A and B are shown apart, each in its own frame.
Chain A
């Protein structure tokens, strides 16, 4: 049985709305338009305009309203058409949502989900193509999830909606149409994944590759290529960027002794930087090679197809990094 990520997200929303009348959706084009990316398709018809609310294009206003509704005890799911637009509302995500339970010593909790597509899209230049994983994962009080497969999408979105704390849920536009095998267990309406736990997508013994969202697929492809060359790569799907599953990452690195981190976002102060620091702190003596970071190029996203390709990680880049980490690459100078 297979399911697209889009169907997985849609069914998770549907089931959680059906289970809890306090869950409602709001955002730009979530209702009559059926969602800019059709994630909310059919939900307006099923749940009505009181629970599926089209907003004006005013992120600060509607995000603040969503957070206020959560203060009162509702469970809003706020869609950003893309996370690029969440910058208009980031004060409400960080100052109004993330810090409230702490500042109020638990008097006011904020059960809200901020979701939408994140990361590099295709052919839309700099302002519409950026990963906010590191931005939100920086902030105490937020939980930050990023699904890869349909199983992730269902299990993590359901977990996010049921969770009593604010969750930033980073999807990927390019994955929406991708199909994944899916089990009966995952299809059951009670299915839910734990927040803060990574998943070993592929076991290996020579090198650990960490990735999230779309890059998990690239890492798996790279692992396949590498296996033909005799390198056994373990691929960790992070699933949760905050809390970060340091235990799983360090356990894997202690086994493989090598680490390559992969992300689409900018490299400086990125998710890879944090993972690298964690491994240096906790597993320094296990490392047999310098850690490699594969990340988006340190430039605003260009439009031209050739430049754009150079700005985001490709499968080859991961293969190359793993080979270097395993001392199996031919040095550039020697090849020339």
Chain B
């Protein structure tokens, strides 16, 4: 279809770089795609919340609702040959990289059909063939790992880049600065995406960071502050960052975003912030509502048609959950698979060593 331009919600703010234009090219297809993809993510996370409360999901579960524009905007600017790595809030990134709902729900419920065969759970989704490298549970560790992916891309002369995502909590980790220094020394095509949702667990950014201007925290590394609730701003910034990284090495994008849920399922998300703050963001900055307005403004669909899409999505999610529930738990023999790629013909033991010994 024909292209037209939309303006980003607010201007970009640059650090050691000239920010890109606020005018972003798009198409009807892309706008409708953003609406559909973000609505699907939103619905999926809401459903995960319910499954958790029904005790079908165990352990940790970190939901992404509110932050969807970062996932879809980033995906719109890059290809599957570019790599993405993130922390434990990973369900929606998996989806954006080509993962499906059944794999997602099955993994959340620890079932055989899960993307990690039920061995990883909520925090450990991967899809290497879609350029998605997880899914990491240790705060900050994914940033050096992402710079390593970028190292490999440069080593192999692929002209592709890596997006290493982290939150404002991880932004203060020492290893992030170690990896950024090396990436800058070696001109690695690494793009650090700081998803600033303003709280590291329950600690407000200003209580954890002497300087919460994360896009400037790379000092000698350029940065850009982006409205992370605006998929078009995210897309524009990621396109800009990819071009920059291939020519000049690393860059930091600070995505100003917000999570509606608490940090994880044990956090109601209301002790360290006010309900007013949350509802204000929902009313003023919600990424899906922003796109809905644009669709209506450009007359690409009617209110009713958008409602129908949402209904369809709801059904799609419900069907996926039903299918995932059909998937059995992993076979007990799976306990001993995938420890190594290449076994050595030696024993590995179960809990009762005498009774449960397997050669791998």
Instruction: Show the binding face of A for B, using Cβ within 8 Å.
Output: 24, 50, 53, 55-56, 58, 60-74, 91-92, 95-96, 100-109, 111, 140-141, 143, 163-165, 194-196, 240, 243-247, 281
Contact = CB atoms under 8 A, between A and B. Distances in A.
B220 to A, nearest CB: 14
B146 A68 contact: yes
Nearest to B120: A103
Interface stretch (B130-138, B193-201, B210-218, B300-308): B130-138
A164 B178 contact: no
Contact of B339 (A74, A91, A101): A101
B85 interface: yes
B186 A67 contact: no
A105 B347 contact: no
B19 interface: no
Given A68-B152, A69-B148, A95-B141, 12 more contacts: A56-B185, A60-B174, A67-B148, A71-B152, A72-B133, A101-B338, A102-B119, A104-B134, A106-B341, A107-B128, A196-B344, A245-B346
Nearest to B127: A107
Nearest to B347: A246
B126 interface: yes
Contacts of A140: 339, 348
B117 interface: yes
B148 A72 contact: yes
B175 to A, nearest CB: 4
Q: Give the interface residue-count category, chain B.
A: 35 or more
Nearest to B354: A281
Contact of B145 (A71, A106, A107): A71
B148 A104 contact: no
Count chain A CB atoms within 10 A of each CB in B119, B149, B353 and give the residue with the most.
B149
5 contacts: A68-B133, A72-B83, A107-B116, A141-B339, A246-B346
A55 B183 CA distance: 11
A173 B344 CA distance: 28
A277 to B, nearest CB: 9
B338 A106 contact: yes
B342 A164 contact: yes
B133 A71 contact: yes
B145 A64 contact: yes
Interface in B107-127: 115-117, 119-120, 124, 126-127
B186 A53 contact: yes
Contacts of B135: 103-104
A261 B353 CA distance: 22
A104 B120 contact: yes
Given A71-B133, A71-B149, A195 B344 contact: yes
Interface string B321-358: 00000000000000001111110111110000110000
Contacts of B144: 60-65, 67-68, 92
Count chain B CB atoms within 10 A of each CB in A102, A105, A194 and give the residue with the most.
A105
Count chain A CB atoms within 10 A of each CB in B116, B134, B148, B344 and give the residue with the most.
B148
Nearest to B180: A61
A60 to B, nearest CB: 4
Contact of B116 (A58, A104, A240, A247): A104
Contacts of A164: 340-342
A119 to B, nearest CB: 23
A195 B353 CA distance: 22
A199 B126 CA distance: 39
A281 B353 contact: yes
A92 B140 CA distance: 11
A61 B175 contact: yes
Nearest to B182: A61
Contacts of B163: none
Contacts, number: 168
Interface of B: 83, 85, 115-117, 119-120, 124, 126-128, 133-138, 141, 143-153, 155-156, 174-175, 177-179, 181-183, 185-186, 337-342, 344-348, 353-354
B134 to A, nearest CB: 7
A62 B344 contact: no
B340 A141 contact: yes
Nearest to B341: A164
Given A91-B138, A106-B338, A245-B346, A73 B148 contact: no
B346 A62 contact: no
A53 B147 CA distance: 15
Nearest to B174: A60
A195 B346 CA distance: 10
A24 B186 CA distance: 15
Nearest to A95: B138
A141 B174 CA distance: 26
A101 B182 contact: no
A55 B144 CA distance: 13
A84 B136 CA distance: 26
Contact of A196 (B136, B148, B155, B346): B346
Contact of A68 (B126, B148, B185, B337): B148
B315 to A, nearest CB: 29
A96 B141 contact: yes
Contacts of A96: 136, 138, 141, 145
A108 to B, nearest CB: 5
A61 B83 contact: no
A243 B346 contact: yes
B337 to A, nearest CB: 8
Contact of B134 (A92, A108, A240, A244): A108
A61 B181 contact: yes
Nearest to A26: B151
B342 A103 contact: no
Nearest to B360: A243
Count chain B CB atoms within 10 A of each CB in A72, A163, A164 and give the residue with the most.
A72
A161 to B, nearest CB: 13
Nearest to A163: B342
Contact of A91 (B141, B342, B344): B141
A60 B117 contact: no
